């Protein structure tokens, strides 16, 4: 069983976040949702408002996650997109450092929609990798190779996704990476996916 941390900042894309959390938990993975404060806010709360007005209660707040995780890294991290969610993630120095640590250890870093362009581009993880993001947000990012018009790209330890409409395909690839093809197939068939 893998441990996955999913970081939710105010303005996160609900479909992207919750689809991945749901399918990863169906796959028996240890998923913890972590609230990240808005840029410039000192507010510590486990309730995070998504980009479309859906409030989610997270398992932990960032301060507690950072304290408990000191010296140990999860097996994977996931940063859903949405705006200003991705910008709020990008304003968090702890998360930028965490991505660099995860990349250095070859652990899975996953992001979709706005987050690859707005957040991951502030780290070194895109360098030398293929990646995708929400259409048009790749402009001006000179690292790695942007791949347009695909639901997701998996390159080495980096999984990136295009946007909300690709959340199911992205989440199922995430499951396959962490839990294997057989588990992904069982979830696919059991949830009546197309």
Q: How many CB atoms lie within 10 A of CB 177?
A: 17
CA 177 to CA 22: how far, in whole Å? Answer: 15
Which residues of the chain register pLDDT less than 70? none
**Predicted pLDDT at 194:** 83
Q: Are 29 and 179 in contact (CB under 8 A)?
A: yes
**Predicted pLDDT at 131:** 98
Whole-structure pTM value: 0.97
CA 122 to CA 28: how far, in whole Å? Answer: 32
Q: Return the CATH number of the domain spanning residue range 3-190.
A: 3.40.50.880
Which residues 6+ apart lie within 8 Å of 78 measured at CB?
4, 5, 6, 7, 17, 20, 110, 111, 174
**Predicted pLDDT at 59:** 98
**Predicted pLDDT at 69:** 79
> Domain extents for the chain?
3-190
Q: How far is CA 75 from CA 1, 2, 29, 40, 82, in A?
A: 9, 6, 10, 29, 24
Which residues 6+ apart lie within 8 Å of 174 measured at CB?
20, 23, 24, 76, 78, 110, 159
**Predicted pLDDT at 7:** 98
**Predicted pLDDT at 107:** 98
Q: Are 91 and 40 in contact (CB under 8 A)?
A: yes
Residues marked as catalytic: 113
Q: Are 116 and 133 in contact (CB under 8 A)?
A: yes
Q: What is the mean pLDDT of the chain?
A: 96
Specify which residues 55 forms β-bridges with: 49
**Predicted pLDDT at 40:** 83
């Amino acid at each position: 069983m893998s441990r996955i941390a999913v970081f939710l900042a105010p303005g996160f894309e609900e479909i992207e976040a919750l689809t991945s959390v749901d399918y990863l938990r169906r796959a028996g993975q240890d998923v913890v949702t972590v609230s990240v404060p808005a840029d410039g806010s000192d507010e510590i709360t486990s309730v995070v408002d998504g980009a479309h007005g859906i409030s989610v209660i997270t398992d932990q707040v960032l301060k507690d996650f950072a304290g408990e995780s000191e010296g140990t890294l999860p097996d994977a991290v996931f940063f859903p997109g949405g705006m200003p969610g991705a910008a709020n993630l990008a304003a968090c120095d702890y998360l930028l450092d965490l991505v660099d640590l995860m990349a250095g250890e070859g652990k899975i870093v996953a992001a979709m929609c706005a987050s690859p362009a707005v957040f991951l581009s502030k780290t070194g993880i895109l360098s030398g990798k293929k990646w995708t993001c929400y259409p048009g947000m790749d402009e001006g990012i000179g690292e790695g190779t942007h791949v347009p018009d695909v639901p997701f790209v998996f390159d080495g330890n980096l999984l990136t996704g295009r946007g909300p409409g690709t959340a199911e395909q992205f989440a199922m690839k995430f499951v396959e990476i962490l839990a294997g093809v057989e588990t992904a197939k069982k979830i696919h068939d059991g949830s009546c996916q197309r």
